[in-house]
C-alpha cells in the first residue's frame, strides 16, 4: 500500500469494491477514521441552518473521486460531487491519457477580483472621471482600511480603472476597483470595499452611486492548463484529426460551443461543489469569458503537435477560495480539500482548470469516436432496472440485457424482469 499512497494512477479503480476505494483515498490523503466517516453521514442540521435561511433538511449528491491526475508534476485524486453518470469515469480516463506525456501544466495570474461602482447623474463626465483617478491613492487607502487582515496577508486593493459607458440613461461612469483577494473567493472583501468607497466617490463628483458590487467576469484571475494527449493511445492520427474536426465546430459556432463548454463545466462544477465553492460564480464567469470577443466560443483550444499528438489548452477565470464562506463551514468541503492535498486557492484553481480540460477532451474524444451514449447507458441502464423493480443480482442482469439490446427503456426493463423471474 505504501507505493499506492504516492500515486493517483490506479487502473480499474471503478472495479474495486467501495470499501477498498474508500481505504485507498484514506491512505492517499492521510484521512483519519473520523474524517472518512464524515462522508457517509449527512450534514448536521444546525450547520445547515446557519448557512441559509428557512432550512428544512439537506440535499445529497453522490461524491466520487477522479483518479490518474498528474498536474505540475504532482499526483491528485480529485473529489467530484455530481449527479451525472460517466463524468467521473471520463475525467479519470482523460487524465490517464494525458499522463503518458507528462500530465497537465498550468499558469495562474494573480488572484485579482473586480468590484464595480456605477456613477450616474454626472454633469461633467470627463471631469468626474479625472477627479476619481486623481484621488486613486485616497480611494485605495480607504478600500484597504476595510480589510486589515487581507492587507496583512499580502492582498488588498491594488488599482482603480475608470470606464465611461454610453447607455439609454446617458453616459455613466463605471469605476473598477481591482483587489488582490489572496486565498478567498473575494466577494465579501470586494463588496465591503465597494460600499465603503461609494460616499467618497459621490463627494468627489456631483453624481449618485447606484450599483456597488463584485463582477463575476473575473478576467484578472485567469487560469490556463495544458496537456498533450498521446496520438497512439487515442487510436492514431486519424482519430486526432476526427477530434480536431469536432472541436472546430465549437470554435466557430455558439450552438456547439455552449454544449462543448457545458462538458467542461461537468467537471469544473463537480469539484467546485465538492470543495464548497460558488459554482454559479464560476459558471457565469466562464460563459461571460467565452463571449469576451463579442461571439460566444469554446473555452478550450486544440491543435496537433509536430508528432501528431493532440495538444489541448483551456483558459478561464476561476474565482475560487479556500478561506471564508462554505469552503470552511461545510465539513465535507474541508475534507475534500484534504483529499486534494491543496493548501492555496491557486493550487485548487490549477486542479480545477486541468479537470475542465480533461472533461472536455473526454467528451469530444467520445463524440469523435464511439459517441457518448455507450458510456452513459451502462450506469443509466442500472437505474432503469431499479426503476422497473429489479433487486440484488437482478439489477445487473436486466441492465446488461438492456445495453446489449441497445434499448434502455423502462417498459423493456419491466418485460426483461418478468422474463428472468
Ligand atoms: C453532456 O453532459 C456533455 C456533452 O454534451 C459535452 C459535449 O458535447 O462536448 C457530452
Which single residue is written with the C-alpha cell 465549437?
Answer: 250
The pLDDT assigned to 5 comes to: 44
What is the pLDDT, as a whole number, of residue 157?
A: 98
pLDDT of residue 371: 78
Nearest residue CA, atom 1 of ligand 1? 263
pLDDT tens-digit series, residues 207-224: 999 999 999 999 999 999
Cell of 360: 472536455
CATH (one of 1.20.1260, 1.10.3470, 1.10.1740, 1.10.8) for 374-420: 1.10.8
Q: For the segment 11-58, what is each residue's pLDDT rounded down to a tens digit?
A: 889 889 999 999 999 999 999 999 999 999 999 999 999 999 999 999
Dig out the grid coordinates for 43 from the structure.
450534514
Q: Across residues 152-171, what is the average pLDDT?
A: 97
pLDDT digits (tens, 9 = 90+) for 243-255: 999 999 999 999 9
Bridge partners (DSSP) listed for residue 163: 174
Q: What is the pLDDT of residue 336?
A: 97
Q: 65's torsion region: left (phi>0), alpha (psi -120 to 50) or beta? A: beta
The cell 453518470 sits on which residue? Answer: 85
Summarised one tens digit per residue, pLDDT across range 91-122 is 999 999 999 999 999 999 999 999 999 999 99
Q: So what's the pLDDT on residue 370? A: 77
Instruction: Considering the candidates 262, 304, 338, 380, report the single residue annotated as catalytic.
Output: 262
Distance 301 CA to ligand 1 centre (A): 16
> What is the spatial distance between Cα 202 and Cα 64, in angstroms, rounded to a whole number?
51
**Model-level pTM?**
0.92
pLDDT at 2 over 50: no
Domain residue spans of the chain? 3-108+222-369, 112-215, 374-420
Nearest of 339, 327, 322 to residue 32 by alpha carbon: 339
Sheet holding 208-215, edge to edge: 156-165, 172-180, 112-120, 208-215
CATH pick for 112-215 out of 3.20.20.140, 1.10.357.10, 3.30.70.420, 3.10.520.10: 3.30.70.420
According to DSSP, the residues that pair with 208 across neighbouring strands are: 120
The pLDDT of residue 126 is above 90: yes
Cβ atoms of residues 112 and 181 within 8 Å: yes
Q: Which residues line ligand 1 (CB under 6 A)?
A: 84, 259-260, 262-263, 266, 363-364, 367, 372
Give the 3-state DSSP-derived string for 109-155, with helices as H, strands as E and coil as C.
CCCEEEEEEEEECCCCHHHHHHHHHHCHHHHHHHHHHCCHHHHHCCC
Which top CATH class is 3-108+222-369?
Answer: alpha beta
Of the residues 80, 83, 255, 262, which should be mutated to test ligand 1's pocket, given the most ligand atoms within 8 Å of the CB? 262
3-state secondary structure of 168: coil
Q: Is-same-fold flag (3-108+222-369; 374-420)?
A: no
Q: What is the pLDDT of residue 11?
A: 87
DSSP of 350-369, one letter per residue? Answer: HHHHHHHHHHHHHHHHHHHT
Q: What is the pLDDT of residue 212?
A: 98
Residues whose CB is less than 8 angstroms from the CB of residue 314 and which lie 6 or more positions away in sequence, other chains included: 224, 225, 226, 264, 299, 300, 301, 353, 356, 357, 360
Tell me how far apart the alpha carbons of residues 45 and 403 are, in angstroms, rounded to a whole number: 41
259 C-alpha to ligand 1 centroid (Å) = 6
- State phi, psi for 296 to the nearest 5 degrees: -65, 130
262 is catalytic: yes
Amino acid at each position: 500500500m505504501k507505493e499506492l499512497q504516492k500515486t493517483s494512477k490506479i487502473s480499474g479503480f471503478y472495479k474495486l469494491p467501495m470499501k477498498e476505494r474508500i481505504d485507498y483515498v484514506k491512505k492517499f490523503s492521510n484521512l483519519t477514521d473520523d474524517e472518512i466517516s464524515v462522508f457517509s453521514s449527512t450534514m448536521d442540521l444546525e450547520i445547515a441552518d446557519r448557512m441559509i435561511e428557512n432550512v428544512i433538511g439537506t440535499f445529497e449528491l453522490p461524491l466520487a473521486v477522479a483518479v490518474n491526475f498528474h498536474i505540475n508534476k504532482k499526483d491528485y485524486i480529485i473529489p467530484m460531487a455530481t449527479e451525472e453518470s460517466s463524468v467521473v469515469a471520463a475525467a479519470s480516463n482523460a487524465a490517464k491519457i494525458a499522463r503518458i506525456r507528462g500530465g497537465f501544466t498550468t499558469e495562474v495570474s494573480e488572484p485579482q477580483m473586480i468590484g464595480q461602482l456605477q456613477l450616474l447623474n454626472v454633469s461633467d463626465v470627463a471631469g468626474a472621471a479625472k477627479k476619481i483617478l486623481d484621488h486613486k491613492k485616497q480611494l485605495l487607502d480607504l478600500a484597504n482600511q476595510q480589510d486589515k487582515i487581507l492587507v496583512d496577508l499580502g492582498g488588498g486593493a491594488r488599482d482603480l480603472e475608470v470606464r465611461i459607458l454610453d447607455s439609454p440613461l446617458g453616459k455613466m461612469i463605471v469605476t473598477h476597483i481591482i483587489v488582490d483577494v489572496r486565498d478567498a473567493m473575494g466577494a465579501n472583501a470586494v463588496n465591503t470595499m465597494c460600499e465603503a468607497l461609494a460616499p467618497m466617490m459621490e463627494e468627489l463628483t456631483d453624481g449618485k452611486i447606484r450599483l456597488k458590487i463584485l463582477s463575476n467576469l473575473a478576467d484578472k484571475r485567469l487560469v490556463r492548463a495544458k496537456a498533450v494527449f498521446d496520438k497512439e493511445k487515442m487510436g492514431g492520427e486519424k482519430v486526432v484529426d476526427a477530434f480536431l474536426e469536432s472541436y472546430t465546430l465549437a470554435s466557430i459556432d455558439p450552438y456547439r460551443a455552449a454544449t462543448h463548454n457545458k462538458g467542461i463545466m461537468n467537471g469544473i462544477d463537480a469539484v467546485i461543489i465538492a470543495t464548497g465553492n460558488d459554482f454559479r460564480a464560476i459558471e457565469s464567469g466562464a460563459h461571460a469569458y467565452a463571449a469576451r470577443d463579442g461571439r460566444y466560443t469554446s473555452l478550450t483550444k486544440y491543435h496537433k503537435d509536430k508528432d501528431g499528438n493532440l495538444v489541448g489548452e483551456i483558459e478561464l477565470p476561476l474565482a475560487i477560495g479556500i478561506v471564508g464562506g462554505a469552503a470552511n463551514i461545510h465539513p465535507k468541503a474541508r475534507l475534500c480539500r484534504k483529499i486534494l492535498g491543496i493548501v492555496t486557492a491557486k493550487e485548487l484553481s490549477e486542479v480545477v482548470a486541468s479537470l475542465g480540460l480533461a472533461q472536455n477532451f473526454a467528451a469530444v474524444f467520445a463524440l469523435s469516436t464511439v459517441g457518448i451514449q455507450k458510456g452513459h447507458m451502462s450506469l443509466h441502464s442500472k437505474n432503469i432496472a431499479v426503476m422497473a423493480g429489479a433487486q440484488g443480482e437482478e439489477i445487473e442482469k436486466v441492465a446488461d440485457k438492456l445495453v446489449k439490446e441497445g434499448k434502455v427503456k423502462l417498459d423493456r426493463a419491466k418485460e426483461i424482469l418478468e422474463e428472468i423471474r
